[in-house]
Amino acid sequence: MRTIVIAAILFLIFHIVRVDLFDGTIPLAAFFGEDTPCVEPKIQVIQVTTIQGDTIETLLSMYPDPESTFVERLSAFYSLNPHLQNQELIGGLIIKLPVTKLANTVCD
Q: Which residues contact 42 (CB under 8 A, 6 or more apart)?
A: 101, 102, 103
Provide the terminal-to-terminal Cα distance of the chain, rounded to the nearest Å. Answer: 51
Q: Which residues contact 103 (CB under 8 A, 6 or more apart)?
A: 39, 40, 41, 42
Q: Yes or no: is domain 43-101 CATH 3.10.350? A: yes
Domain locations in the chain as residue ranges: 43-101
34-57, pLDDT tens digit by residue? 666 666 667 788 899 999 988 889
Q: How many CB atoms lie within 10 A of CB 73?
A: 22
Q: Mean pLDDT over residues 82-103, rounded?
A: 82
Cα distances (angstroms) measured from residue 19 to each of 8, 10, 23, 67: 16, 14, 5, 47
